[in-house]
Amino acid sequence: MFLIKVAWRNILRHKRRSLFALLTILSGVTGIILFGGFVEANYIGLRESVIRSQYGHLQIHRAGYEANHRQDPDRYRMPLEQAERVKALLESNPHVQMTSRRLEFTALLGNEKNSQAAIVRGVDPETETLINSALTIIDGTDLDEEEPEGVLLGEGLAQALNVKVGDQLSLLASTVNGVMNAVDVTVQGIFQSFAKEYDDAAMMMTLPHAQQLLNTQSVDTVVALLDETMALDAVVADVADRSRAQDLGIEWIEWHKLATFYQKVVDLYDGFFLFINLVIYVVVVFGVANTMIVTVMERTAEIGTLRAMGTHRGGIVRQFLTEGLMLAVFGAVLGVLAGIALTYSLNALEIMMPPPPGSSKGYPLRIAYVPWIWAGSVGAVALIALFATLVPAMQAARKSIVDALRYV
């Protein structure tokens, strides 16, 4: 207690110097919190966009699908009865909000003037609309079971074909029997997802229409959307247990194993975040060390007095470490408070950011409130301050008592 009291008074004794050190620490921590919150918000935003426009949280396939479906797609598709059992299994888990069946294939889409290869997805319109909530219909309307011939085109695909809502197109694909088949479709809507690459080739249609084109009753995938992404591991464990018990003959893949783009973005931003953290922490080291070196120099005679009276060297080291630590923790806590206040203010300003690489949409600036970054930055700054203070503190303790007493 005595140590803390003396440390606190010494911090207040040199207000300007302490203020400078506090501002250095405060700005550093605020910067870490803002950038960390920005990165985290991007992760969350991108993650949910990926999940809610393409992959869902969990995709269930027939066993062996992932390894073999490219060579023999129909053999590894799920028959109708199996898909229904999978849906029932998934929907009995309280974290599963909804499920949807998908049939995916490539086809040639075109009219008399133009044609393009398209990645086609046949879906249950009602549930897929909800699963794909991050998909924006920029023209027309969403898929509707009442309009089985209606299709949604990605923005880039629609542009490549030079078509608009209401235009008629033909969709040509190979049936499961290896015969070419074609159906007529009508452009019902044009969509935009987070990924321009996807929008340049993607098309969606109702599942029955897609099954009719391929001449099959099977589906490739049953997709599950959960109430929260964090529940994924628990749901996977449950699916693993119960599917084994029911001998369902399925395999599954989580969204993050499919979303390679998301993982690359996370790796890139993690690198930025680490680099910025390092730069800030180096500045904090110099800020604290500079303050403590000057403090030790100025208090040389005081150190001599304390030592003369019988204070151990360790006592001197502890005194300066306490001061450095208190300065750092106080500055870091103020930095956290400033970071939270700025996060709130910047979020309220609704600043629009340009589209990220590979994306076709801009997005509003969002900074997440990330308590582990707050706690981590306080902890890191405290450790750094201890490190930065240790050298001057040990120098102080090693001073000759007689020389220290003579210091003016």
Partner 1 sequence: MGFIQINELHKTYWLGESQVHALRGVSLAVNEGERLFLGGPSGSGKSTLLHIIGCLDRFDQGRIVVAGRDVASADDRALADFRARYIGFVFQNFNLLPVLTVFENVEYPLLLNGEKSAKKRRSRVEGMLEAVGLLGHAKHYPNELSGGQRQRVAIARALVHHPRLLIADEPTANLDSTTGEAIIQLMLDLSREQGSTVIICTHNRELLENAERCILLRDGKIENDATAGTQGRTAACF
Give just the sign of the alpha carbon dihedral 141, 146, 151, 152: positive
Q: Which of 166, 178, 310, 354 binds partner 1 (CB under 8 A)?
A: 310
Nearer to partner 1, 7 or 207 (CB): 7
In this structure, the dihedral spanned by the alpha carbons of residues 377, 381, 387 and 389, taken in order and rounded to 10 degrees, is -170
Q: What span, in angstroms and rounded, lies between the C-alpha atoms of 52 and 45?
A: 10
Q: How many CB atoms lie within 10 A of CB 113?
A: 8
Q: Confirm or reject binding of residue 311 to partner 1 (CB under 8 A).
A: yes
Q: What span, in angstroms and rounded, lies between the C-alpha atoms of 207 and 217?
A: 10
Binding region for partner 1 (CB under 8 A) out of 215-223, 286-294, 297-305, 362-370? 297-305
* Contact indicator for 35, 273 with CB cutoff of 8 Å: yes
The interface mask with partner 1, positions 347-386, x = CB under 8 A, is: ----------------------------------------
Q: Which of 223, 227, 250, 229 is nearest to 239 (CA)?
A: 250
Q: What span, in angstroms and rounded, lies between the C-alpha atoms of 131 and 99?
A: 8
Nearer to partner 1, 340 or 405 (CB): 405
Binding region for partner 1 (CB under 8 A) out of 3-11, 70-78, 186-194, 362-370? 3-11
Nearer to partner 1, 217 or 311 (CB): 311
* Contact indicator for 234, 94 with CB cutoff of 8 Å: no
Nearer to partner 1, 179 or 408 (CB): 408
Q: Confirm or reject binding of residue 301 to partner 1 (CB under 8 A).
A: yes
Alpha-helix runs per DSSP H in 162-312: 196-199, 207-214, 232-246, 255-258, 260-298, 300-309
Nearer to partner 1, 335 or 392 (CB): 392
Q: Confirm or reject binding of residue 304 to partner 1 (CB under 8 A).
A: yes
Binding region for partner 1 (CB under 8 A) out of 89-97, 141-149, 302-310, 328-336? 302-310
Q: How do strand 115-123 and strand 96-110 relate by DSSP bridges?
A: antiparallel
Q: What span, in angstroms and rounded, lies between the C-alpha atoms of 380 and 387?
A: 11
Q: How do strand 221-226 and strand 202-206 relate by DSSP bridges?
A: unpaired
* Contact indicator for 127, 100 with CB cutoff of 8 Å: yes
Q: What span, in angstroms and rounded, lies between the C-alpha atoms of 62 and 69?
A: 10
CB of 371 to partner 1, least distance (A): 35
Q: From start to end of 93-166, where are the E strands? A: 96-110, 115-123, 136-140, 150-154
CB of 10 to partner 1, least distance (A): 5
The interface mask with partner 1, positions 204-243, x = CB under 8 A, is: ----------------------------------------
Q: Confirm or reject binding of residue 2 to partner 1 (CB under 8 A).
A: yes
CB of 325 to partner 1, least distance (A): 17
Phi, psi of 44 (to 5 degrees): -65, -45
Q: Confirm or reject binding of residue 394 to partner 1 (CB under 8 A).
A: no
Nearer to partner 1, 10 or 360 (CB): 10
Instruction: Specify the amino acid at residue 14.
Output: H
Q: What span, in angstroms and rounded, lies between the C-alpha atoms of 291 and 285?
A: 10
CB of 389 to partner 1, least distance (A): 18
Nearer to partner 1, 2 or 372 (CB): 2
Nearer to partner 1, 309 or 348 (CB): 309
CB of 392 to partner 1, least distance (A): 18
Both tokens of residue 221?
């995938």
Q: Confirm or reject binding of residue 102 to partner 1 (CB under 8 A).
A: no
CB of 296 to partner 1, least distance (A): 15
Site size for partner 1 (CB under 8 A): 21
Q: Which of 80, 308, 353, 391 binds partner 1 (CB under 8 A)?
A: 308
- The enclosing H or E element of 173 equals strand 168-174
Nearer to partner 1, 306 or 393 (CB): 306
Q: Which of 15, 75, 257, 312 binds partner 1 (CB under 8 A)?
A: 312
The gap between the terminal CA atoms of the chain, to the nearest Å, is 30
CB of 305 to partner 1, least distance (A): 4
* Contact indicator for 185, 167 with CB cutoff of 8 Å: no
Contact footprint for partner 1 (CB under 8 A): 2, 6, 9-10, 13, 301-302, 304-313, 400-402, 405
